[in-house]
């Protein structure tokens, strides 16, 4: 039988016996009751674990609404208007409301970018500012030793509302919820303290309970104080298909369950060989983007198995820091130690690749030069069929194969 995988603007095609294929993972078919701004309005009218926002907010309060920065796919311009209308219905003045873009360790925005993120209606009514890691207030320390130093515009607010999207996160379990506070509006030292725990096996996608990073994030959120959240779930086209509002934990967990219904895929057991692609352009422009599919695929491959990763990568590695870590490392293992000692955005994805290499081989089908691919600890292959043939030669004619044609969107969960 033939399997097709997106690869740039073309595809990779492999042929294999049907008996070897244990599954092809695609998003679960779902009918969404509401989408876009309608979903957001419904969530605010039907909050989870909290009263209506207009009943929580009080006239005269200084309100901070934390929103995602431009590196995230969150359509804040569809979320913020409904939130602000709830606040003004409660008697809050527009001049007392500030939208704070959570930069984390990312760059500042231009005013044009702030306008685009917030939308014209919001940008022209309320203050829209970036978080400032250089101007923070100390609000405590978590039990893991993470300093809770929060940007002043959020720390001094009377009412804090976190917005964002919920998706699988490869070491925080899920995005959303208190993640807008930590690392969103905190400091580099806090991000280092929290994110260095990514090397622990419990810090993985789809895991909340027992995940040290998620627990630390939520403890930081409690120390700061989060009064309300409005989170959305997006489909593969980045459109809102579900929204939750209310309590920072109860509403977030409801959103996580909805995401699970869309993208979590139960498999009976791990496979010897996993074929995975991001789905083609524009999602496989560089290895930095393709890494997300790789990290999901690690949950489907047996220890000692092989992941065949397909990504055209016409832009190469795609991140300066990511490239430096991969090219400077004497061994793959050294990157894991490095991220534990000093977390760097970009470098963390290099360390994530090294963590996959601890348990599986990675064959890479890309347009990058073979010698270069070898230098970054991956096994270059000219095409997916050649890679699969090589893997069959290693594991035998009875080797099991799992296919993930949209690897960045589907999260395999093995039953054993």
CATH number where 271 lies: 3.90.226.30
In the prediction, which pLDDT does 346 show? Answer: 87
Q: Please count the other Cβ atoms lying within 10 Å of the Cβ belonging to residue 375.
A: 12
In the prediction, which pLDDT does 130 show? Answer: 97
Regarding pTM above 0.85, the answer is yes
- Whether residue 219 is found in the same domain as residue 271: no
Whether 259 is in a domain gets the answer no
What average pLDDT does this structure show over 316-343? 93
CA 102 to chain centre: 15
Whether 401 is in a domain gets the answer yes
Whether 243 is in a domain gets the answer no
**Rounded Cα distance, 241 and 244, in Å:** 11
What average pLDDT does this structure show over 200-226? 96
Contact present, 92 and 135 (Cβ < 8 Å): no
Whether 253 is in a domain gets the answer no
Contact present, 126 and 87 (Cβ < 8 Å): no
> pLDDT above 90 covers what percent of the chain?
91
Report how many domains make up the chain: 2
Contact present, 148 and 186 (Cβ < 8 Å): yes
- Whether residue 122 is found in the same domain as residue 212: yes
The helix/strand count (H/E) of the chain reads as: 15, 20
Q: Which residues pair with 244 in a beta bridge?
A: 231
Q: Look at residue 332 and tell me whether its pLDDT is greater than 90.
A: yes
- Whether residue 59 is found in the same domain as residue 103: yes
Last residue of a domain, one of 234, 254, 279: 234
- Whether residue 57 is found in the same domain as residue 149: yes
Whether 240 is in a domain gets the answer no
In the prediction, which pLDDT does 112 show? Answer: 95
Structure tokens at 215: 């627990």
Question: Binning pLDDT at 50, 70 and 90, where does residue 401 land?
Answer: very high
**Rounded Cα distance, 173 and 350, in Å:** 19
Question: Binning pLDDT at 50, 70 and 90, where does residue 80 land?
Answer: very high
In the prediction, which pLDDT does 105 show? Answer: 76
What average pLDDT does this structure show over 322-349? 92
Contact present, 30 and 64 (Cβ < 8 Å): no
- Whether residue 303 is found in the same domain as residue 379: yes
In the prediction, which pLDDT does 236 show? Answer: 80
- Whether residue 70 is found in the same domain as residue 164: yes
Containing domain of residue 77, as a range? Answer: 36-234
Q: Look at residue 264 and tell me whether its pLDDT is greater than 80.
A: yes
Residues 6+ away with beta carbon under 8 Å from 86: 44, 52, 53, 54, 57
Question: Binning pLDDT at 50, 70 and 90, where does residue 203 land?
Answer: very high
CATH number at residue 97: 3.40.50.11440
Structure tokens at 173: 């379990």
Whether 247 is in a domain gets the answer no
- Whether residue 68 is found in the same domain as residue 191: yes
What average pLDDT does this structure show over 42-63? 98
pLDDT in tens, 144-167: 999 999 999 999 999 999 999 999
The span from the first CA to the last CA of the chain, in angstroms, equals 27
**Rounded Cα distance, 254 and 296, in Å:** 22
Whether 307 is in a domain gets the answer yes
In the prediction, which pLDDT does 342 show? Answer: 84
Whether 133 is in a domain gets the answer yes
Question: Binning pLDDT at 50, 70 and 90, where does residue 71 land?
Answer: confident
By mean pLDDT, which of 247-261, 342-356, 359-373 is the weakest?
A: 342-356
Question: Binning pLDDT at 50, 70 and 90, where does residue 315 land?
Answer: very high
């Amino acid at each position: 039988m033939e399997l097709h995988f997106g690869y740039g603007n073309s595809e990779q095609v492999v042929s294999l016996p049907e008996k070897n294929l244990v599954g092809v993972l695609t998003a679960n078919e779902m009918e969404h009751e509401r989408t876009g701004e309608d979903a957001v309005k419904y969530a605010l009218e039907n909050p989870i674990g909290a009263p209506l926002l207009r009943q929580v907010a009080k006239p005269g309060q200084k309100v901070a609404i934390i929103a995602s920065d431009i590196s995230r796919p969150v359509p804040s311009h569809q979320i913020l208007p409904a939130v602000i209308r709830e606040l003004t219905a409660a008697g809050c003045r527009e001049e007392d409301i500030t939208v704070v873009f959570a930069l984390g360790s990312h760059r500042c925005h231009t005013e044009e970018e702030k306008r685009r993120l917030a939308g014209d209606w919001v940008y022209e009514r309320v203050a829209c500012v970036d978080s400032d890691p250089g101007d923070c207030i100390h609000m405590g320390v978590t039990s893991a030793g993470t300093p809770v130093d929060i940007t002043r515009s959020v720390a001094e607010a009377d009412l804090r509302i976190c917005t964002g999207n919920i998706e699988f996160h490869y070491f925080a379990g899920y995005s959303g919820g208190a993640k807008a506070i930590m690392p969103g509006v905190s400091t580099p030292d806090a991000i280092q303290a929290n994110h260095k725990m990514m090397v622990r096996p419990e810090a993985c996608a789809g895991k909340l309970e027992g995940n040290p990073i998620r627990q630390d994030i939520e403890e930081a959120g409690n120390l700061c104080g989060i009064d309300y959240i409005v989170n959305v779930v997006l489909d593969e086209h980045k459109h809102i298909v579900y929204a939750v509002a209310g309590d920072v934990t109860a509403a977030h967990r409801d959103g996580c369950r909805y995401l699970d219904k869309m993208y979590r895929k139960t498999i009976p057991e791990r496979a010897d060989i996993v074929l995975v692609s991001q789905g083609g352009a524009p999602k496989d422009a560089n290895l930095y983007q393709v890494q997300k599919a790789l990290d999901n695929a690690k949950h489907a491959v047996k220890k000692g198995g092989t992941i065949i990763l397909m990504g055209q990568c016409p832009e190469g590695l795609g991140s300066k820091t990511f490239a430096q870590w991969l090219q400077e490392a004497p061994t793959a293992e050294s990157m894991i130690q490095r991220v534990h000692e000093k977390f760097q955005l970009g470098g963390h994805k290099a360390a994530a690749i090294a963590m996959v290499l601890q348990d599986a081989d990675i064959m890479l089908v890309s347009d990058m030069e073979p010698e270069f691919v070898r230098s970054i600890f991956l096994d270059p292959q000219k095409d997916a069929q050649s890679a699969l043939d090589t893997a069959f030669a290693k594991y035998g004619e009875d080797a099991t194969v799992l296919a993930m044609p949209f690897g960045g969107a589907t999260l395999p969960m093995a039953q054993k």
